Amino acid sequence: MKMDCLVLDSVRKFSVDWEARKLPLNVLINISSSSYMDDTKNLSRDGYEHHMQVNHLAPALLSLLMLPSLLRGSPSRVVMVNSVVHHIGHLDADDLNLSGNKKRWNTLTAHANSKLAQLLFSNLLQRRLPKETGIDIICMHPGQVVNETATGWRGIIQKIQFNLFSPLEGARSLLFCVTDKQVQDYARALRSISYPLAPYFGSDCRPCAVARQVHDMHKANLVWQETLRLVGIPVEVVEEAVNESDPVDVTGDVKYMDVFPEVSNDEGLDFLLGSSNDNDDSFGGLDAQFLQTDFGHS
């Protein structure tokens, strides 16, 4: 099955074709990424800025369309591969398409804003999915991995001495978020204390902090509504489906490790290798249905 994140109709067709199989889906990995090296602003066939469509709009649309399959595969999770670059984003929720003055646009800003939009949307989706569905949204940063994107940045970014990971090392935290039962336990622990943000894991397989603006529930709601408008899904349809709850104001950061038990960073890899001591096979182990979207344009 093929899908092009630069064409939203391709995302819709992909979801229809998958749904026709009537299979349970245990994990959806949104790992698609767009990060162009020049400062040319490119628009997709749908008329949206490339970074925003590939990094945010297409994964958001796919995640919503795959909810029936994820429900059949419950307990299930959607893993959003994000980036610490979201910390430097400055998102205008009314202008996700970055259609403002050219002076406001550059490659790094576009990339950072798309990752910030993904986080804000993911937080609302995690909040609004009833816990009874058994579906959780997990966000993570895999670290700076050696690839064309990592080595192609120009200007000041090119001068930063990254501690680069190999692709195998970069996959470590992703596999942890995909397979380890404690990740979903942590997500549910956050729900139990009414924490309105989705879990966010770093490259060391441990929870880490997000940018302060990610805590802005007003902006998150605006991004939620604008995202649905841009991908062509009526707000009321989605909000009925996910049983919308009232937003909760954030007055301070949760002490992550107070609700997350000490874990071995190798447990996720052990799971895939079949050496996990976890007797709970409700997740499906190697029989689980995994769906990874990796259709970005770098």
Query: Is residue 17 in some structural domain?
Result: no
Q: What is the pLDDT of residues 32-78, one digit of tens each?
A: 766 555 667 889 999 999 999 999 999 999 999 999 999 999 999 99
Is the CB of residue 295 less than 8 Å from the CB of residue 29? no
Two structure tokens written together for 46: 């749908």
How many structural domains are present in the chain? 1
Query: Is residue 236 in some structural domain?
Result: yes
For residue 111, give its domain range.
23-293
Residues 6+ apart with CB under 8 A from 81: 29, 30, 31, 33, 140, 141, 142, 174
Pairwise CA distance, residues 187 & 195, whole Å? 10
Query: Is residue 7 in some structural domain?
Result: no
Nearest alpha carbon to residue 27 among 143, 172, 137: 137
Give the pLDDT score at 55. Answer: 95
Q: Lowest mean pLDDT of 66-80, 138-152, 184-198, 244-258, name the range.
A: 244-258
Query: Is residue 156 in some structural domain?
Result: yes
pTM above 0.85, yes or no: no
Residue 104's CATH number: 3.40.50
Q: What is the DSSP letter of 206?
A: S
Percent of the residues in the chain that have a pLDDT greater than 90, as a whole number: 47
Q: What share of the chain is helix, strand, coil (3-state, %, to 5)?
A: 45, 10, 45
86-95, 144-153, 254-263: which is most confident: 86-95
Query: Is residue 14 in some structural domain?
Result: no
